[in-house]
Amino acid sequence: MSLRLALAALLLAGAASAAAAEPLGRLFYTAQERQALVAARQRGEPVEALSPTGSGEAATPRLISLAGIVERGSRPPLAWINGTAVEDGASLHGLRVRIAPPGIRLQPPLGPAHTLAVGQTLDLDSGRILDRLPPGSLAVEPRR
């Protein structure tokens, strides 16, 4: 019994020293970033990325990926974009999101809209739409 206790204490001490070896640092650098986080939450916007420059503005992702769409009966559908659930009509990184299964339409304030199907990614720098799987990489055999 005491051998088990000693072994457990040794494992816990090792885990504690490994955790202490990597300091967490600061989570928020300025009062402006904290205010931006609270404001974004109140607007219902995703808050996963704040600018490291301290400007308090959300960083714009360079890739927008549509992982899936969930239809919820009488409630509005949700789109899973960059790992975040987004409702129809929401604004995501300056783009208006319209959910129309089997895909979504992303409308920037200026310029043409982009339509994504589930599994596609929009490169904001080039405007190209990328597929997770290259064309012809998936073959389906007919049922027998």
In the prediction, which pLDDT does 121 show?
92
SS3 at position 27 = coil
In the prediction, which pLDDT does 88 show?
92
In the prediction, which pLDDT does 41 show?
74
Global pTM reads: 0.52
Tokens 């080039």 found at: 126
**How many C-beta atoms surround the C-beta of residue 122 within 10 A?**
23
**Which residues of the chain have a pLDDT value below 50?**
49-58
pLDDT in tens, 43-83: 776 655 444 444 444 455 578 999 999 988 888 899 999 88
In the prediction, which pLDDT does 96 show?
93
In the prediction, which pLDDT does 13 show?
60
